[in-house]
């Protein structure tokens, strides 16, 4: 599954595509002197390795001692990043703006402060147009420094200084509010990560009090900037999700997506946030079973992904693929078009191997769970277990309880279907103990496990009554929002229905 932590330089070299490697070599040949040739040799050696092995590197890198290698690696790492900066400057507006600020600082250092001011004035508009609030503030502060220390003739222009000071005050205020809202967003998201959902009225009351106590005061959404609104809407999304109010969660996620309709250029400037917003909106539409809206936004996701794909950074490409294809699998689960979902299996598995070690392991395990679940729906129990066992047998990782519990429940059902009754008998006590310990345990999971216990102890002639009771017990839970979420991610009703139909025809 997941390799152990590797050498950072090795990971960086292996992350480069062909164009980036070619660009680095051209860059390296331009800057290298006779004494620098070794760092390019080191690059070629590492590039050909399948696994990082320092002994092999030292053997191939003639006349290099181990204590020299760390300095050489550090030098190579820095040069690779410098060459990457030259490529990605065209794709990242913030890198472009920072480069111009650097140019202005160089000119200022040479005493050419009027030229520095011209550069700053030009890039200030670019920063404003692209919502680069912190860089805008940095530009303003640099302008003020120059105006304070030199005679620039700016005071001859009417209201020039007053406008600069007022702009600085406004931008300082916006930057401060953006930081407060970013903190608030992280707080509410962190609350979900730490405590999960509010399960009763006492917990709901505490969450509401926490929200109102920590939300920045004196907010005016009508006057806030793009990122202020984005942080606030994200915080609201997580807040409603903690309270199990999935409709309001979807509404907040839609508000984030709408920001990109109001300001379409931000799709290209911050595609990661856009893809993330679409993914969460689709997730809540999935939970709410809003098929028409889900299809609409999934089509939009695919369309924008196709438009932007060539210009995406590797990180944005990775996130877009993960978010889009998890959403596609959810769509087929929602539509019950299980085989169509499995038709994506080969493409998904070939891509996610590229991402291991670069992205949150939970995202990758979700693919395995969903593919295993689709296999289960198609009654391919052996193939389902291959994916599910990968999740359960993963060592050295702390997994999300809801994912692990659902995987273990699915494992038991698959073994039951394969008539591995002794193995089912062995697995049930361990799963039962885990369900009792976990705060993520749902009544749905407990009811299904109790049904499995009964089935495993009974003869086939008794199955019909057990499945009938299981269906009735699950039906009584559908009004509970927490159980609604559990039911969406582990819906046992088709499995129960299939067994009851089989019994009628037998």
Q: What is the CATH number of domain 360-506?
A: 1.25.40
Helix axis angle, 271-287 to 246-262, nearest 10°: 150
Tell me the whole-structure pTM to 2 decimals: 0.80
Q: In terms of Cα–Cα distance, which of 398, 409, 402, 319 is closest to 373?
A: 409
Q: Give the integer Cα–Cα distance in Å for 495 and 377.
A: 8
234-243: per-residue pLDDT in tens?
999 999 999 9
Contact (CB, 8 A) for 83 and 23: yes
Q: Give the integer Cα–Cα distance in Å for 293 and 282.
A: 8
Q: Tell me the CA distances in angstroms from 332 to 291, 339, 370, one per residue in order.
A: 10, 8, 10
Number of neighbouring beta carbons within 10 Å of residue 66: 10
Q: Give the integer Cα–Cα distance in Å for 390 and 411.
A: 11
- The structural domains of the chain, with segments of one domain joined by +, span 8-88, 93-157, 360-506
Helix axis angle, 481-489 to 401-417, nearest 10°: 50
317-344: per-residue pLDDT in tens?
999 999 999 999 999 999 999 999 999 9
Tens of each residue's pLDDT in the chain, 506 residues:
333 346 889 988 988 888 889 888 888 888 765 555 788 888 989 999 888 888 888 888 877 777 788 888 988 999 999 888 888 777 788 888 999 999 999 988 888 888 888 899 999 989 988 888 889 989 998 988 888 777 566 555 567 778 888 888 888 888 888 889 999 999 999 999 888 899 889 999 999 999 999 998 876 655 678 999 999 999 999 999 999 999 999 999 999 999 999 999 899 889 999 999 999 999 999 999 999 999 999 999 999 999 998 888 888 899 999 999 999 999 999 999 999 999 999 999 988 887 776 777 888 899 999 999 999 999 999 999 999 999 998 765 556 788 889 999 999 999 999 999 999 999 999 999 999 998 888 999 999 999 999 999 988 888 889 999 998 999 888 888 888 888 888 888 888 887 755 544 34
In angstroms, how far is CA 403 from the centroid of its own chain?
A: 16
Q: Give the integer Cα–Cα distance in Å for 493 and 499.
A: 10
Q: What six digits make up the tokens of 270?
A: 């911050």
Contact (CB, 8 A) for 274 and 267: yes
CB burial of residue 455 (10 Å; 0-12, 13-18, 19+):
buried
E strand or H helix at 205, and its extent? Answer: helix 201-214
């Amino acid at each position: 599954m997941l390799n152990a932590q590797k050498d950072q330089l090795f990971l960086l070299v292996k992350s480069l595509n062909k164009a980036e490697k070619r660009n680095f070599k051209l860059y390296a040949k331009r800057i290298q002197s006779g004494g620098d040739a070794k760092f390019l040799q080191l690059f070629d050696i590492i590039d050909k390795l399948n696994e990082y092995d320092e002994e092999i590197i030292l053997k191939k890198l003639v006349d290099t001692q181990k204590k020299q290698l760390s300095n050489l690696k550090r030098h190579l790492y820095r040069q690779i990043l410098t060459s990457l900066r030259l490529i990605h400057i065209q794709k990242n507006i913030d890198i472009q703006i920072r480069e111009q600020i650097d140019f202005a600082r160089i000119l200022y250092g040479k005493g050419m402060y009027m030229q520095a001011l011209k550069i700053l004035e030009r890039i200030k508009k670019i920063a404003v147009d692209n919502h680069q609030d912190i860089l805008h503030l940095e530009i303003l502060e640099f302008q003020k420094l120059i105006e304070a220390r030199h005679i620039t003739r700016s005071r001859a222009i009417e209201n020039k200084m007053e406008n600069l000071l007022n702009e600085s005050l406004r931008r300082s205020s916006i930057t401060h509010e953006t930081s407060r809202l970013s903190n608030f967003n992280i707080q509410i998201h962190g609350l979900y990560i730490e405590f999960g959902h509010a399960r009763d009225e006492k917990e709901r009351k505490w969450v509401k009090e926490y929200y109102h106590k920590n939300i920045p005061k004196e907010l005016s959404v009508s006057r806030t900037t793009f990122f202020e609104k984005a942080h606030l809407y994200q915080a609201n999304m997580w807040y409603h999700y903690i309270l199990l109010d999935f409709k309001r969660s979807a509404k907040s996620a839609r508000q984030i997506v709408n920001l990109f309709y109001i300001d379409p250029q931000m799709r290209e400037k911050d595609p990661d946030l856009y893809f993330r917003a679409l993914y969460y909106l689709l997730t809540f539409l999935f939970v709410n079973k809003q098929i028409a809206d889900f299809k609409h936004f999934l089509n939009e996701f695919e369309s924008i992904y196709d438009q932007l794909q060539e210009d995406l950074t590797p990180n944005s490409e990775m996130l877009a693929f993960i978010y889009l294809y998890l959403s596609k699998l959810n769509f087929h689960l929602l539509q019950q078009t299980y085989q169509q979902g499995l038709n994506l299996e080969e493409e998904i598995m070939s891509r996610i191997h590229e991402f291991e070690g670069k992205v949150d392991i939970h995202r990758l395990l979700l693919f395995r769970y969903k593919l295993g679940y689709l296999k289960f729906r198609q009654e391919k129990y052996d193939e389902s277990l291959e994916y599910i066992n990968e999740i359960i047998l993963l060592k050295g990782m702390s997994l999300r309880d809801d994912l692990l519990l659902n995987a273990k429940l699915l494992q038991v059902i698959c073994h039951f279907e394969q008539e591995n009754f002794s193995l089912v008998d062995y697995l049930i006590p361990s799963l039962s103990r885990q369900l009792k310990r976990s705060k993520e345990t749902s009544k749905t999971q407990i009811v299904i496990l109790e049904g499995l216990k009964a089935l495993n102890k009974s003869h086939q002639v008794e199955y019909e009554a057990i499945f009938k009771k299981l269906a009735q017990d699950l039906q009584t839970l559908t009004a509970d929002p927490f159980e609604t979420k559990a039911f969406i991610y582990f819906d046992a009703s088709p499995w129960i229905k299939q067994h009851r139909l089989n019994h009628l025809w037998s």
